[in-house]
Chain A
Amino acid sequence: MPAVDLQMEALERSASRRRTFYRWLLFLILGVFAIYYLAPMYVMIVTSFKSMEEIRKGNLMMLPKEFLLDAWKIAWGGRGYDAGDVFLRPFFWNSTKMVVPAVVISTFLGAINGYILTKWRFKGDNIIFLLFLFGCFIPYQAILLPMARTLGALGISNSITGLVLVHSVYGLSFTTLFFRNYYVSIPDEMIKAARIDGAGFFKIFFKVLLPISAPIIVVTVIWQFTNIWNDFLFGSSFSFGEAAPIQVALNNMVLTSTSVKQYNVDMAAAFIAGFPTLVVYILAGKYFIRGLTAGSVKG
């Protein structure tokens, strides 16, 4: 028996050695990719803290000699003179005023749509759903002209309200698809039970369905927030001047500087413009947990 034991031990040892090796190889590859993807952000951040002097002389990857906040102040609050000074603060609030209602409206309507399409089936509901699905494949560019006419007719062109409408409508196909696919997996019997218990259409939605929709709400909010915040095409087409969202302002800021390119200011501005989506990912990602319906049906 000892011979067999020895052999087993050797086998186990070599298996564990191999496991360790592959584990380290995996970490190495993942690490390389992480550096590859994070490098631009690193350059952005270090550049934004440097002075122009240092940027011109130094190395792209080097840490700044001293951390200067000047570029950030200029990007956010401007240089303090009137003519041609573009800075992000007002447009940041523009974007906030646009993105919050647009995300809330499109998510809410998507949830109601998904609820109806799965739990209150009616004749032709499949065709309606197909049309929603079709809506997901309509490119941004295709709706520019008709949307411009619509906004004009409604009298809300070049306004935040107009952009809220555009984004809510455009996002509706996606949010409906998300919620429909989530609610389809929730047993109909739960709705039947609530109906027998005496709950009506909205009561079932708010009391029974919405409290278990957290995972899909998070997915939808992340999706909609990122798309709307990062949108440039609708923003630049349907707004200009003071009503523009932050991405349009960023573009104007970076492209309209007449003097020397202020790389540090540009980098700080770009980072400010991208920051909220990062925050949403970090905050909402935590709640990105599935399986909250466990327990309502056989588990």
Chain B
Amino acid sequence: MATLEARNLTKNFGSTRVLRQVNLDVSDGEFIVLLGPSGCGKSTLLNMIAGLESVDEGDIRIDDYVVNKVEPKDRNIAMVFQSYALYPAMTVRENIIFGLKQRKVSKEQTEKSLSHFSKMLQVDQLLDRKPAQLSGGQRQRVAMGRALVREPQIFLFDEPLSNLDAKLRVEMRREIKKLHEQLGTTMIYVTHDQIEAMSLATRIAVMNEGIIQQIGTPQEIYDKPNSVFVADFVGSPSINLVPGKLEKNCKGFNFVPDQQPDGFNIPINGYAFENSPQEGQPVILGLRPEHINLSNTFQDAHLDLELKPTLIELTGYEQNVTFDFQGHEVTGRLPRNAQAELGSPLSLSLDLSEISLFDKETSFRI
């Protein structure tokens, strides 16, 4: 059980600034996911928390102790790696208890932990095998067993599922979630897979170019992204982004898409602005695909219009249909029985209560 605090963390590799003034607070028992594209610094941040990378500036505190100069083994953390990083020359048993041996844990205690966790992870039948004789999923389980058996205060996961095939990945994801609920240990998990992030996290920190763009619950991140980057990175298919500008009307504001000859606009009176909007301010409007649907789907503020499908992708239980909207591609998630046909206009409805507006210059939410 532990809290973790990162204060103004900065890291440079030569002249490359990998992390810039990162702040992160993790309270006891949380499951924090660091989410971002490759090269955003998420793995570096995790390695710094583990003590495998040095800290250039700032502090890392575990339970209020500054651990900047503390060796990885003394931080009471355990880490699971993408490549599993099992010791190839050792059997599964030796792999799992290697850490306990280094800590001179008593034989009985070691055996007890080993049998407890190997049963829990269903690797108790494999204890005498070498890693080369295991499948990918089994290797990942052993790697987790090696981390669990130490009963650390904080678990660190560095893209642990990225090497597994799709079906196994979903399975292991669920097991990690169960594990967290069972143990209640603080966990920090790095991934570039937003579905993993959404399904596992109690809070997600979205990172880009060495800074944390937004940190919040999965719902907050998804519904109220604070920047174009977050909006675009989270969600599949991606959020629809349409550039335009704001225009005052009698009750509030209208959104007018760029290159709009016929005075078409979208009334956004219900939108809760975080900053005071300006007349004529260039903005980007974001609307997730599930908020574009057949007409008569939405009860609240909505806008009806007709659009022509340009691409239809069936996903099984629904279809992602891409439309031509004033020269932009926008995608909607329609039920699979919707009669979408290429080129023939379809009556649609946009859910205006779910839009996000971003300033075009700063790309932050307004």
Residues of A with Cβ closer than 8 Å to B? 187, 189-190, 192-199, 203, 207-208, 211-212, 292-299
B130 surroundings in chain A (CB, below 8 A): 295
* B102 contacts A208, C-beta separation under 8 Å: no
B146:A187 contact, CB within 8 angstroms: no
Which chain B residues (146-177) contact chain A, with CB distance < 8 Å? 146, 150, 158, 163
Asked if A192 and B85 sit within 8 Å, CB to CB, the answer is yes
A172 to chain B, nearest CB (A): 26
Considering the complex, give the chain A residue whose CB is closest to the CB of B77: A196
Cα of A196 to Cα of B158 in the assembled complex, Å: 14
B72 touching A195, Cβ below 8 Å: yes
Sort A-B residue pairs by CB-CB distance and give the 3 closest, nearest first: A295-B132, A211-B89, A198-B102
| A207 to B94 Cα, complex, angstroms | 11
Measured in the bound complex, the distance between the Cα atoms of B82 and A298 in whole Å is 9
CA distance A195 to B70 in the complex (A): 12
B132 touches A299 (CB 8 A): yes
Contact of B88 (CB < 8 Å), options: A194, A195, A199, A295: A295
Partner of A190, one of B72, B78, B87, B132: B87
Q: Are B78 and A196 in contact (CB under 8 A)?
A: yes
B163 in contact with A292 (CB, 8 Å): no
Contact of B52 among A192, A203, A295, A296 (CB under 8 A): A192
Chain B residues lying within 8 Å of A292, measured Cβ to Cβ, are 88
Residues of A within 8 A of B89 (CB): 208, 211-212
CA distance A194 to B50 in the complex (A): 12
Q: Which residue of B lies closest to A196 (CB)?
A: B72
CA gap between A229 and B234 in the complex, in Å = 65
Hey, which chain B residues are within 8 Å of A197, CB to CB? 73, 98-99, 102, 146, 150
B309 within 8 A of A: no
Chain A residue at minimum C-beta to C-beta distance from B164: A298
Bound complex: CA of A194 vs CA of B150, how far in Å?
13
Taking A197-B73, A298-B83 as known contacts, 15 extra A-B pairs with beta carbons closer than 8 A to each other, sorted by chain A number, are A187-B85, A189-B85, A190-B85, A193-B81, A193-B85, A196-B79, A199-B73, A199-B98, A199-B102, A203-B102, A211-B90, A292-B88, A294-B88, A295-B131, A296-B84
Whether B102 lies near A192 (C-beta < 8 A) is no
Residue contacts A-B, CB under 8 angstroms, 13 given: A189-B81, A189-B158, A190-B85, A193-B86, A195-B73, A196-B77, A199-B98, A208-B89, A212-B89, A296-B83, A296-B87, A296-B131, A297-B85
Check: B120 CB closer than 8 A to any chain A CB.
Answer: no
Q: Looking across the interface, which residue of chain A has its beta carbon closest to that of B136?
A: A298
Bound-state Cα–Cα, A27 to B103, Å: 59
CA of A263 to CA of B22, assembled, Å: 81
- The residue on B at minimum CB distance from A190 is B85
Report how many residues on chain B are interfacial, defined by Cβ distance under 8 Å: 36
| Distance between A188 CB and nearest chain B CB, rounded to angstroms | 9
B297 on the A face (CB < 8 A) = no
Any chain A CB within 8 A of the CB of B314? no
| Interfacial chain B residues near A198, Cβ < 8 Å | 73, 99, 102-103
B133 at the interface (CB under 8 A from A): yes
Chain B residues close to A by CB (< 8 Å) = 47, 50-52, 71-73, 77-79, 81-90, 98-99, 102-103, 130-134, 136, 139, 143, 146, 150, 158, 163
B310 to chain A minimum Cβ distance, whole angstroms, is: 39
CA distance A195 to B78 in the complex (A): 10
B85 touches A296 (CB 8 A): yes
Q: Which residue of B lies closest to A203 (CB)?
A: B102
Nearest-Cβ distance from residue A77 to partner chain B, whole angstroms: 45
A196: B residues at CB distance < 8 A: 50-52, 72-73, 77-79, 99
CB distance from B211 to the nearest CB of A (A): 25
Residue of A nearest to B83 (CB): A297
Q: Give complex CA distance A81, B319 in Å.
A: 101
Docked Cα-Cα span, A212 to B89, in Å, equals 6
Bound-state CA distance A193–B136 (Å) is 18
Contact (Cβ within 8 A) A296 B146: no
Instruction: Note all chain A residues with C-beta closer than 8 A to B86.
Output: 190, 193, 295-296
Q: Which of B51, B71, B83, B87 contacts A194 (CB 8 A)?
A: B87
Checking B71, B83, B136, B143 against A187 with a beta-carbon cut-off of 8 angstroms, the contacting residue is: B83
Q: How far is the CA of A53 from the CA of B139 in the complex (A)?
A: 71
In the bound complex, CA of A297 to CA of B84 (Å): 6
Contacts of B102 in A (CB 8 A): 197-199, 203
Closest-CB distance, A40 to chain B (whole angstroms) = 42
Docked-complex contact A192 and B88, CB < 8 angstroms? no
Q: Which residues of A contact B103 (CB under 8 A)?
A: 198
Closest-by-CB residue of B relative to A299 is: B132
CB <8 Å contact, B131 and A192: no
Instruction: Note all chain B residues with C-beta closer than 8 A to A297.
Output: 83-85
Q: Which residues of B contact A295 (CB under 8 A)?
A: 86, 88, 130-134, 139
A207 to B131, CA, bound (A): 15
Chain B residues near A193 (CB-CB < 8 A): 79, 81, 85-87, 143, 146
- C-alpha gap A229/B266 in the complex (Å): 87
Distance between Cα atoms of A198 and B139 in the complex (Å): 21
Contacts of B143 in A (CB 8 A): 193
Chain A residue nearest to B79 (CB atoms) is: A196
Q: How far is the CB of A72 from chain B (nearest CB, A)?
A: 44
Write out the residue numbers on chain B whose beta carbons fall within 8 Å of the beta carbon of A199: 73, 98, 102
A126 CB to nearest B CB, Å: 12
| B81 contact from A192, A207, A212, A294, Cβ within 8 A | A192
